Structure 1
């Protein structure tokens, strides 16, 4: 995970009183003393924000800008956080030209800013009746609300960690339904660095691990510890669980060797079973709970969305097969669900066989009833994603993939039917639709929110 560096910039003007004429613009900052007081206020506010951000975030020292020379001297950062207290539009444009910019305006949170009045007509629309420039959008402007600011920064952090992310693809890279086209689109849109590992190499690694007494003993120890946890119930053969921990150790070694945080497994329903003497389900679930992103099926239609949602939420993501939405509800299921869905505590789980093969070890995670979730639906073309908020109504036990949830759809479920795209869905605890929408706009994609 790469931290997001943010350069706060206070743009302001200093005025001198003149008799019988307008000598100052709107706003509560008009001299060096009030500007310095505002700098100290910003510093204290951002220190508090950094401490509670929940993701790697670093604020650089507050830059003071009242001339074009001041803009030229600003240090580089991933994002510029522009406190637009004053200054002419050229000064603000100069900051925005340096890189992604979020503008913070004060109405009631401190001294009122000049650009609270004029940012729309002058800077965003540029004296037109529509947006007249490419630097700033309405979503790039926050008034008073540091929670909204944090959402923007979280989205930009997610985007930074998604673009160019390295993915280890065991058994090769593919895409559900469209094969190699999905891989091409993922590389073109998201610049993913895909490292392919053959099943021949995996077989050699597993064979070596199975023959390593220390590795086997570690797998047995970890399996025993896992199965003794409160809320875990074994309903398959214990040897399948031990082998799943061997596979987990092999996958983790691959991740470490390739300096990656993301792994996916192709043909995981058939090819991997004779090699690992278990299924990949539990091994991937364990990696998800450790903070990695571990996905089955090597589906590069869905993998970019999974990466973005993972970093936007800071939580494990459940990649699931959907069913047909109806009557305001939809069933989702898969066998690789994380247990640490809220990022803090593990949900109860039954350890069963993988459903289609009735073999191996797969967790049936008992998702929390009443939990609000974000559901993200990526498209086959990497142009338009769909999302909605839902609530887990039930965690049933139907004859389908083991981890199951009935999700109540917030919004018009009939519209959702008309907007369906792709196949796999991504589910995470909490509401992150605004972060996803903001991030997608930055890469020129559309987002359809149902609700």
Structure 2
């Protein structure tokens, strides 16, 4: 027992109890089932995450309740993680599970004498078992009048799931008119007529509704699960470090649409925290990044140590404000001598570990990175894309990118430590991102309340000294010439997620009442 404890302590490279707990608490993911543990010194390629946890004596399991399931093993005296419980959005949406049908003694779909009660019991059980992170409250409405009376007293839900198990109640239209975020489900061959008519009308009127008409029950589960990440978004706080009077994005719209609170912080505040950070601890992070890197190209060890101190400052601010994301107006502040180090390596670490560090004070992109974390369990990657029509490619370029694009427990890719590209100063990241993977890229326009979306397949990394350090090339799915048509309305940035997340983003947009522009 003592030997295992000592081995674990060695893994942590001498972190103090306070600093280890703080680092752990701020570097954990709250995505249900993710099973994330803090990986302090794992090789870029080598032992698996599960092997690392086992060999380190660390208890780790996938679960939806962090406070109950993510704890140190008895080998470690620190026990549970109170700081994490205080920081992360451990929230459970309350959703009305509304079944609609008329009396079984009337002839209609599915058929006369149908056992609605048995069907409702079956569906309720399946949904409850599949979605422990949602508080489902089942009820039945059989007419428009019943629906109206119920709605007068019951708008304190995070959303509705309307399951049409029989047709022509009139209740569905009444529920749609309430304007509440709603998943509308056709129990095939039972609710179809009313589903098709009411869903088409609701979509045309711009209601917050997403429809499911599928024989695959998993599609129902995935749609209803969207309420989990929406609840997490609305329970989140975003820090915006800037000296500008304005914002990149509109905090009021962000609050109205996503429920995310934006907290502005000026440069003296972050610099004060930076100056107070433990330099020995910062050096450990610098050494960690250097050891993990494929190679160090431009930055000096001293510059990387400054990045380590900046990373600790980011963690301190997130802890102080109980926030899950931070974005910094880094170019203006660093160019103006108001920031002692670029935050690129700190953002790299935050995004790898399940929190969000976002570039340039871009609030809309930061919100989308939070969405990616909650929705996919994977980091979003902000970039300034370049389009190459000769090769039907889009190149996602930036000086911050994760090397755990499949989430904190997913496989890693190599990276290099570089200087920041434009001014050739500081420390940044060139991440050599995986090829052969589908990518989903999205952006949000606050004024128009629209998403823009395209997809591509990664093909490799571009080695080019001009422009930002990381350059992920991808083959566009769709019309690359059309892809050049929306940049004036949505800006240069896009947030890219590894994986096919078109459908979940469509669900999100529908439930938030947003339109989607398909740009390719």
TM-score band, normalised by shorter chain? 0.7 to 0.9
CA distance in 2: counterparts of 1:24 and 1:322, whole angstroms: 58
Residues 373-382 or 288-297, more deviating: 373-382
Verify: 1:208 aligned to 2:276, yes or no: yes
1:350-377 residue CA offsets vs partner (Å, 9 max, x unmatched): 1222222333221211110111111114
1:145–1:420 CA distance, 2 compared to 1 (3 A):
farther
Q: How far has the Cα of 1:29 moved from its partner?
A: 8.0
Q: How far has the Cα of 1:280 moved from its partner?
A: 1.1
1:174–1:391 CA distance, 2 compared to 1 (3 A):
farther
Q: How far has the Cα of 1:380 moved from its partner?
A: 7.3
Alignment correspondent of 2:394: 330
CA contact (8 A) 1:268 1:280 kept: no
Verify: 1:413 aligned to 2:484, yes or no: no
Given candidates 113, 121, 127, the residue that maps to 1:40 is 121
Q: How far has the Cα of 1:413 moved from its partner?
A: 0.6
CA contact (8 A) 1:8 1:59 kept: no
CA distance in 1: counterparts of 2:361 and 2:257, whole angstroms: 17
Structure 1 gap segments, 5+ residues each: 17-22, 52-56, 210-214
Q: In the TM superposition, what are the counterparts of 1:175-324 in structure 2 within 5 Å?
A: 186=254, 192-209=260-277, 215-229=278-292, 232-235=294-297, 236-268=299-331, 271=334, 277-300=340-363, 302-324=365-387
Structure 2 gap segments, 5+ residues each: 1-88
Alignment correspondent of 2:171: 91
1:389–1:26 CA distance, 2 compared to 1 (3 A):
same
Which SS does the other structure have where 2:341 is aligned? Answer: coil
CA distance in 2: counterparts of 1:188 and 1:133, whole angstroms: 19
CA distance in 1: counterparts of 2:221 and 2:331, whole angstroms: 38
Q: In the TM superposition, what are the counterparts of 1:21-60 in structure 2 within 5 Å?
A: 23-27=106-110, 30=113, 34-50=115-131, 57-60=133-136
Q: In the TM superposition, what are the counterparts of 1:388-407 in structure 2 within 5 Å?
A: 388-399=454-465, 400-407=467-474
CA contact (8 A) 1:174 1:182 kept: no
Q: How far has the Cα of 1:59 moved from its partner?
A: 4.0
CA distance in 2: counterparts of 1:434 and 1:80, whole angstroms: 19
Alignment correspondent of 2:496: 427
CA distance in 2: counterparts of 1:220 and 1:441, whole angstroms: 46
CA distance in 1: counterparts of 2:119 and 2:430, whole angstroms: 53
Q: How far has the Cα of 1:6 moved from its partner?
A: 2.8
CA contact (8 A) 2:100 2:163 kept: yes
Q: How far has the Cα of 1:391 moved from its partner?
A: 1.0
CA distance in 1: counterparts of 2:367 and 2:496, whole angstroms: 14
CA distance in 2: counterparts of 1:184 and 1:76, whole angstroms: 22
Given candidates 56, 59, 78, the residue that maps to 2:158 is 78
1:172–1:3 CA distance, 2 compared to 1 (3 A):
farther
Corresponding residue pairs, total = 419
CA contact (8 A) 1:206 1:276 kept: no
1:61–1:232 CA distance, 2 compared to 1 (3 A):
farther
Residues 41-50 or 399-408, more deviating: 41-50
CA distance in 1: counterparts of 2:453 and 2:156, whole angstroms: 34
TM-score w.r.t. the length of structure 2 is 0.71
Given candidates 95, 98, 106, the residue that maps to 2:187 is 106
1:352–1:273 CA distance, 2 compared to 1 (3 A):
farther
Which SS does the other structure have where 1:360 is aligned? Answer: coil
CA contact (8 A) 2:327 2:363 kept: no
RMSD: 3.3
CA distance in 2: counterparts of 1:174 and 1:142, whole angstroms: 48
Alignment correspondent of 2:424: 358
1:109-145 residue CA offsets vs partner (Å, 9 max, x unmatched): xxx41x2133334x3467xxx97866576x4243333
Q: How far has the Cα of 1:384 moved from its partner?
A: 3.7
Q: How far has the Cα of 1:5 moved from its partner?
A: 3.3
CA contact (8 A) 2:356 2:366 kept: no
CA distance in 1: counterparts of 2:186 and 2:259, whole angstroms: 34
Alignment correspondent of 1:19: none
Q: How far has the Cα of 1:163 moved from its partner?
A: 5.1
1:408–1:133 CA distance, 2 compared to 1 (3 A):
closer
1:244-297 residue CA offsets vs partner (Å, 9 max, x unmatched): 222111111111111111101113465289666532110111111121121111
CA distance in 1: counterparts of 2:146 and 2:259, whole angstroms: 35
Q: How far has the Cα of 1:306 moved from its partner?
A: 3.7
TM-score w.r.t. the length of structure 1 is 0.80
CA contact (8 A) 1:339 1:348 kept: yes
CA distance in 1: counterparts of 2:450 and 2:155, whole angstroms: 35
1:144–1:28 CA distance, 2 compared to 1 (3 A):
farther
Q: How far has the Cα of 1:190 moved from its partner?
A: 5.1
CA contact (8 A) 2:345 2:427 kept: yes
Q: In the TM superposition, what are the counterparts of 1:85-164 in structure 2 within 5 Å?
A: 85-86=165-166, 88-96=168-176, 97=178, 99-107=180-188, 112-113=189-190, 115-121=191-197, 123-124=198-199, 139-162=210-233
CA contact (8 A) 1:320 1:332 kept: yes
